[in-house]
Amino acid sequence: MGNDGGTIPSRTEILSFSLKKLKGSGADAGPGGGGATLEREWVLSQMLNTYRYCRLSKEVLAAPVVSDSSGYLYNKEKVLQYLLDRKKDGGIGRDVPTIGSLNDVVQLDIKLQGNRLTCPLSGTTLDIDHDGDLKLSDVQFCYIVPCGCTVNSNILRELVEDSEQDAADRKGAGAEAVKTCPVCFTPFTLSNIIDINPQDTAGQKRLQLRIDKLKTDGLYHNLKPRKTKKKRKRSAEAAADGQQPIGKADGAKAKDGKRQKTQV
């Protein structure tokens, strides 16, 4: 059995295989709604594993924790190591499509200690190792960009989402409402609420549309501006000529002009 070149399956793979096997055998069929229960338990298990393990290293999550634009959680140390290794290898080897720099992740203010996850809005603490009595709405958390405050999704949306009439008016005006984070009071917009590892297709599609729009607007996931190729080229040319980058040179000229005026 040993040394045969095989790999040890992860817990997620085992659960996935078990789910397919049960569905194929018809064990979840029938009027009792067994299929729905099985599906709920599977999704619940997936969500709880999100708060246990770093998606990159599969190690236990430990502060500081960061998240990418798809809502996956990572140990920040492992992301830094990944970026250094990737640079060293010239981008060959492991690849995480959503992370190309630290601007592609947001550091979270998440109340996660060991197996206990707390929502700062409700004060409710979940024991993620004993999931028998939890509902899916209990474990669906989200965070806000740019502050990283991490709270229960349903509670946050009840607090900050517009009424149907407000949403319709705003859609007509083509503008997003600016809200205030109920934890730290940082301004944000509704599109910058990121569900952690959304299990539904609609949630995943919403996050993809958001990052596509940010790229069009020249912004990273953390809302910092992207460096365009043109800017990088001009900076490189200025450095090669022994000059200051254009922006800095202009600033220096403006300051010199100010000084001369003052002296006169």
- The CA distance from 28 to 212, in Å, is 39
Residue 211 has pLDDT above 80, yes or no: yes
Q: What is the pLDDT of residues 14-66, one digit of tens each?
A: 444 344 433 443 444 444 455 567 777 888 888 888 999 999 999 999 999 99
Closest to 145 measured CA to CA, from 100, 177, 107, 94: 107
Q: In the chain, where are the structural domains located? A: 52-216
Between CA 15 and CA 22, with CA 18 as vertex, the angle to 5 degrees is 140
Burial class of residue 14 (count of CB atoms within 10 Å of its CB; 0-12, 13-18, 19+) = exposed
190 is written with which tokens? Answer: 């509704």
Q: What is the pLDDT of residues 118-151, one digit of tens each?
A: 999 999 999 888 766 788 888 999 999 999 999 9
Q: What is the pLDDT of residues 219-239, one digit of tens each?
A: 999 999 998 765 555 555 655
- pLDDT at residue 236 in the model: 53
Residue 95 has pLDDT above 90, yes or no: no
Overall average pLDDT of the 4-22 stretch: 44
Residue 247: partners with Cβ closer than 8 Å, 6 or more residues away = none
Phi and psi dihedrals of 246, rounded to 5? -55, -45
Q: What is the pLDDT of residues 167-194, one digit of tens each?
A: 556 565 557 889 999 999 999 999 999 9
- pLDDT at residue 128 in the model: 87
- pLDDT at residue 229 in the model: 63
- pLDDT at residue 42 in the model: 81
Distance of CA 171 to the CA centre of its chain: 25
Residue 213: partners with Cβ closer than 8 Å, 6 or more residues away = 191
C-alpha neighbours within 13 Å on the C-beta side of residue 215: 9
Closest to 146 measured CA to CA, from 29, 50, 66, 216: 66
Enter the pTM of the model.
Answer: 0.72
